[in-house]
Amino acid sequence: MPQLRLALCQVNATVGAIADNTDLVLARAREAAAAGARLVAFPEMVLTGYPVEDLALRRSFQRASREALDGLAQRLLDDGLGEVAVVVGYLDIDERARPKLGRPAGSPENALAVLHGGRVAIRSAKHHLPNYGVFDEYRYFVPGNVLPVVRLHGVDIAFAICEDLWQDGGPVAAARGANVGLLVVLNGSPYELNKDDTRLELCARRAAEAGATLAYVNLVGGQDELVFDGDSLVVSPTGQTLARAPQFEEAVLVVDVDLPAAGDPVDLDAGDVTVERVVISADPLPAWEVDEIAVGPRLASEAEVYAALVTGLRDYVRKNGFRSVILGLSGGIDSALVAAIACDAIGAANVHGVSMPSAYSSDHSRSDADDLAARTGCQFRTVPIAPMVDAFQDALKLSGLAEENLQARVRGVTLMGLSNAEGHLVLATGNKSELAAGYSTIYGDAVGGYAPLKDVPKTMVWKLSEWRNAEAERRGETPPIPPNSITKPPSAELRPGQLDSDSLPDYAVLDDLLDDYIEQDASAADLVAAGFDQELVEKILRLVDIAEYKRRQYPPGTKISLRAFGRDRRLPITNGWRERVPE
């Protein structure tokens, strides 16, 4: 049985940075080749970054991607890597397609190419185009209908792209008919909580369906709201996990696999997919002693989510050219968790916390903010806002909710002023539960360039805070979040004695209801049937529905759930529909 040393390179590409991404591919290909790999695979659209959105429709971007691919093939040859087969994802165009109404301009393709000997040995385009959740690929790409099969060192290897794995039929079905020994899938699969379990199960099932070993290589790193978690893996046709890369880390996973020798082509009926074959090397390699590859441990749920939030913030800061962040420290749990995430992402020296006490701020809000700064080592200052609020009040004579919101807006202006003066990125500290219910003040606590907790429910905020402190203790470090910030009742402190519980139900109940309504699209009747109080359902659904305009203006934030606000859940702002329980 022929052997093949395969390298899966899960790398952190940057959208639009084609030259930098090409350099990254070349560097990792050198690393893989030095480890003896004969086939080196990179993720979906690694040369352009992913997702490129409307950049896919620009002629100049399309040309730059294709030129980078050709240049990479030559650079690999010049570096002495011409005999290594390297497969990369990139943006291509279908030159045969004619302009047509309803077809993306220029007929762009989400494509892959196998490079060998200084040239493109074979190329193909993604067949199944996802058009749900965060994906709009019907808008950007035209589908391909080719399954590329390369004979390399006596093994037939097929290649597919991401959604082709998730959908029945198409390239995976064609791979079985083509009698391949290895199926390599290039992915740009965003993170969601517990998706790694679904991914492994899917890969095992598809490997069995294809009758081939399956290698899955994924992107890692943050891109706006999305985070890619890596988690590249190799599974056998019987479902055994042969190797698995770490989550949220760049890695080159080198794996020795025993594969069946290539036989005569079968090419059974593959529906609308055509099998195209190319021979690079027909003879197997001499056998060698195989090193066993350890399968790394998986992260627990809280550790996984926390790693996603750190990765998303770090890459948003780094890729957009910021060096530091600034946020308001209220002494509450949300700002404390955001500060801890920021310190872990970019270093405490680059995190600037600002305490902005008003006339209604409690003593513990100030002392807890001081405590957090001491625990994390972040930069810290106090800017009392009471004189500024008084100046506005003298001019405007506000009362009630308008007066409460004025305090939040003065804090927002303060943070934005310091941001402009000192070059920091402002972090909004609100969580998903508050944002869902409209408990955020536009131009107040909603100001900022990024919102790390935008997709994190309040109950998970507590879990993550407790986990982060426990993890610090396990490492022998100082827990970053003050215990009092975790245990005290949450409050905006915009009026005397104010608590969140004055106007919202217990957060465990609220988050359960919100999960059903927002992520599962449950109706009001469904929610009542599930056991929620009818009056509470009608109140919360009304709060959610009328706050759409606020969410539309909220900063981007890391997606961790099945359905995040923004790219996932898109509702009209002007909307006369209201969920009601039938009489």
343 catalytic residue (yes or no): no
pLDDT in tens, 2-11: 899 999 999 9
Beta bridge partners of 115: 86, 120
- DSSP calls for 156-223: EEEEEETHHHHSSSTHHHHHHHTT-SEEEEEE--B--TTHHHHHHHHHHHHHHHHTSEEEEEE-EEEE
- The greatest distance separating any two alpha carbons of the chain, rounded to the nearest whole angstrom, comes to 87
The pLDDT of residue 101 is 65
Tokens (6 digits) for 87: 């497969």
Structure tokens at 469: 């402190």
Identify whether 203 is a catalytic site residue. Answer: no
Ranges in the chain, pLDDT < 50: none
CA pair distance 14, 46, nearest whole angstrom: 8
Query: Which own/partner pairs from 293-298 qualify as long-range (CB within 8 Å, at least 24 positions apart)?
Result: 293/242, 293/243, 293/253, 293/254, 293/255, 293/256, 295/241, 295/242, 295/243, 295/244, 296/244, 296/245, 296/246, 298/196, 298/247
Q: Rounded to the nearest 5°, which phi and psi values hold at 261?
A: -65, 145
pLDDT at 327: 96
Catalytic residue among 9, 109, 137, 162: 162
Do the beta carbons of residue 213 and residue 236 sit within 8 Å?
yes
Choose the catalytic residue: 9, 109, 126, 304: 126
Residue 559 is among the residues annotated as catalytic for this protein: no
- pLDDT for 291 equals 73
Are 179 and 151 contacting, i.e. CB atoms less than 8 angstroms apart?
Answer: no
Per-residue pLDDT at 292: 73
Digit-coded pLDDT (tens) for 165-223: 888 888 888 888 888 999 999 999 999 988 778 889 999 999 998 899 999 999 999 99
- The predicted structure's pLDDT at residue 339: 97
pLDDT of residue 576: 83
Q: Token pair of 161, please?
A: 């792209």
Tokens 């599974």, located at residue: 235
Q: Where are the alpha helices (DSSP H) in 477-517?
A: 483-487, 507-514
Q: Which two tokens stand for residue 540?
A: 């919360």
How far apart CA 516 and CA 479 sit, in angstroms, is: 34
94 closest CA partner among 44, 54, 148, 141: 141
| Catalytic one of 9, 44, 225, 319 | 44
At 73 the pLDDT is 97
In 332-482, DSSP assigns E strands to 351-355, 379-382, 425-426
* Per-residue confidence (pLDDT) for residue 183, from 0 to 100: 96
